Amino acid sequence: MSQLKSVCVYCGSRFGADPAYKQAALDLGQALADHHWRLVYGAGDVGLMGAVAQASQAAGGETFGVIPTHLFQREVGKRDLNTFIITETMHERKKVMYMNSDAIVVLPGGAGSLDEFFEVLTWRQLGLHDKPIYLLNTNGYWDPLVTLNSHVVAQGFADQSLLDFVTVTDTVPALTDLLSAALT
């Protein structure tokens, strides 16, 4: 019997301005369950975080949530997960999420999602892991970030390999295909 594969999803605790962001989160939650991949995420029950978890649970998926004590009220800690962990700090939260995943997916989000993305990207750049990192670029949300990363490379602050560590995809079905190839 093969070990359960886990996908860490970083995303917003809000829905954002475009309804397509919520739909992508719902579709991803469904896809994770359909492929028997465990969702690892920030344990919130609000915004895109809540949407991806609710969709995964509704489809029978396994969920693993990690939330720091100071965000429990703000992000409405979702206690009905298969695994629910409360940490003392944000750093511990990110570490537990990372350590319990086989791939990283970043949906639209704000500063917290960017922090999580840049941390795993930096760790990859430093050779600390080789987990695949995916940006789900729903309706071009991450286009400015992709441009920024290219600018960093063009200006000599990172090698071309930085860009190779991130796969940008526009739809959940395309993302699912990429995850299927990476997680087999």
pLDDT the model gives residue 2: 57
pLDDT the model gives residue 117: 98
Residue 19 one-letter amino acid? P
State which H helix or E strand residue 67 sits in: strand 63-68
Question: 6-178 — its CATH code?
Answer: 3.40.50.450
Average pLDDT, the chain: 95
Q: How confident is the model at residue 3 (pLDDT cuts 50, 70, 90)?
A: confident
Mean pLDDT of 13-26: 98
- Condensed to tens digits (0 to 9), the pLDDT of residues 51-106 reads 999 999 999 999 999 999 888 777 767 788 999 999 999 999 999 999 999 999 99
The 3-state DSSP class for residue 172 equals: helix
pLDDT at 1 over 50: no
What does the block give as tokens for 47? 């915004």
pLDDT the model gives residue 8: 98
pTM of the model: 0.95
pLDDT at 23 over 50: yes
pLDDT the model gives residue 147: 98
pLDDT the model gives residue 80: 87
Nearest to 150 by CA among 140, 161, 139: 161
Of residues 69 and 131, more confidence is placed in 131
pLDDT the model gives residue 65: 95
- Nearest 5°: CA angle at 166, between 109 and 63? 55
